[in-house]
Amino acid sequence: MSTSESEDSTGLLRTVLPPNQVDRVFDFCGENGWKLLALGAVVGALPPLLGLEQGYYMTVVSEMYLFAILALSWDLVGGQTGYPSFGNMAFFGLGAYVTAILVKDFAVAFPVALIAAGLLALLFAALIGAVVLRLRGHYFAIATLGVLLAAQQISRNLDITGGASGKILLQVPSGTVFYYLFFGVLIAEMALIYYLSNTRFGFILNAIRDDEEKATAMGFNTTYYKTAAWMLAALFTGVAGGTYSLFNTFIDPQTAYNGAWNVELIAMALLGGSGTVAGPVIGAFGLHTLIEFVETAFVGWQLVLLGGAVIVTVIGFPEGVVGTLREYASEMAYYERGGMAAVDSGEDTEVTADE
């Protein structure tokens, strides 16, 4: 992340977009988080009222919200807590199947089925969390991927899930209902995570990410907090899955436990900036719009684009859009606020002090 080596190219950037101005924007957002969220809630609620009809565009926007929920949920554990999961779609699929089965086979009302889906995903997360959250790094990632593959296989083999041919759901609410449902869940999740990120509970998650052993030495039973975050992520992912099954009117092992989505939602969080509330949402909106465009313009190339985007992000902006901007903004602040006084060996210290 050395910013000093690209001195020339950032020179122009500095004139056009001075770091302290970006810093001011961040300060503004930090101080007005709730107002911005309320503004977003109003703006997002308007389109159907202003005449956005059911159809292609409403579907695309609804999916944007869906992906934002998935990316934000992933980030709560992957970004905030530092446990990158490759199995989040397991919660999605579980929620999707529970809702579909309850609504179709047991004639349960959709909202009730949706709540059941969320709670079951949460319970499932508590059970497997106790096992997989003991693992770290690669082992955790592989174990969660295993959970996803196993869940997919199970849905293929059972009768109640409709086996490999899945379930078709015909009596579903209108597109506008889904629009507001996805949007409402997203806003609720953003509000919750934003609130938590300013509490000591949120700090503990970040502390686990930065140095779990130190957090333990400070008196925190980290398993407890990791599991809580993981359950919360599962709750929202499960509800999103439940909503999706009726939204899509069809669910089978391939769509419920969609492997490509599993990668997309991670890419969205990383692209936007993990460990933040706005980052994964921005990433989801941006990448989904792009994918949608490529899908229509160059059929079949979206995975190539996705792969390319991930590689470019990881190499060029490991902190994502929001993280990179924040780093850029705070570059000067450290010195302005008196950090320089105590640094003896000149300019490089701030870079080496990173690790």
Report the alpha-carbon angle 73-78-82, nearest 5: 140
CB 229 to other proteins: min, Å:
12
Q: Given the complex with other proteins, which of 153 and 199 has the nearer CB atom? A: 199
Work out how close the CB of 187 gets to other proteins at its nearest, in angstroms, rounded to a whole number.
20
Looking at the Cβ atoms of 52 and 192, the one nearer to other proteins is 192
- Residues lying near other proteins in the complex (CB under 8 A) are found at 196, 198-201, 203-204, 206-207, 209-211, 213-222, 275, 330, 333-334, 337-339, 342-344, 349-350, 353-355
What's the min distance (Å) between Cβ of 319 and other proteins? 10
Contact 324, 317 (CB under 8 A): yes
237 and 122 in contact (C-beta within 8 Å)?
no
Nearer to other proteins, 10 or 349 (CB): 349
Nearer to other proteins, 96 or 235 (CB): 235
Which residues share a beta bridge with 251? 167
Please, which residue, 14 or 337, has the CB nearer to other proteins?
A: 337
CA distances from 86 to 36, 71, 114, 142, 308 (A): 31, 12, 24, 7, 19
Between 144 and 197, whose beta carbon lies closer to other proteins?
197
Considering the complex, what minimum distance in angstroms separates the CB of residue 280 from other proteins?
Answer: 16
Q: How far is the CB of 267 from other proteins (least distance, A)?
A: 21
Distance CA 203, CA 278 (A): 17
What is the closest distance, in whole angstroms, from the C-beta atom of residue 170 to other proteins in the complex?
42
- What is the spatial distance between Cα 164 and Cα 187, in angstroms, rounded to a whole number? 34
CB of 330 to other proteins, least distance (A): 7
Nearer to other proteins, 78 or 87 (CB): 78
In eight-state DSSP terms, residue 339 is G
Q: Which is nearer to other proteins, 203 or 250 (CB)?
A: 203
Tokens representing 236 are 């929202």
| Nearer to other proteins among residue 253 and residue 273 (C-beta) | 273
Kindly tell me which of 59 and 330 has the beta carbon lying closer to other proteins.
330
- Least gap, CB of 245 to other proteins (angstroms): 32
Q: What is the largest CA-CA distance in the chain?
A: 71
Specify the pairing of strand 167-168 against strand 250-251. antiparallel
Residues 6+ apart with CB under 8 A from 207: 214, 215, 218, 220
Phi-psi region for residue 46, left (φ > 0), alpha (ψ -120 to 50) or beta?
A: alpha
For the CB of residue 219, give the shortest distance to other proteins in the complex, in Å: 4
Q: Are 173 and 246 in contact (CB under 8 A)?
A: yes
Residue with tokens 């209108």: 174
Q: Report CA-CA distances (Å) from 112 to 73, 91, 116, 149.
A: 22, 18, 6, 28
- Terminal-residue alpha carbon distance, the chain: 11
User: Phi and psi dihedrals of 168, rounded to 5?
Assistant: -105, 135
Q: How far is the CB of 334 from other proteins (least distance, A)?
A: 5
* Structure tokens, 335: 């010195």
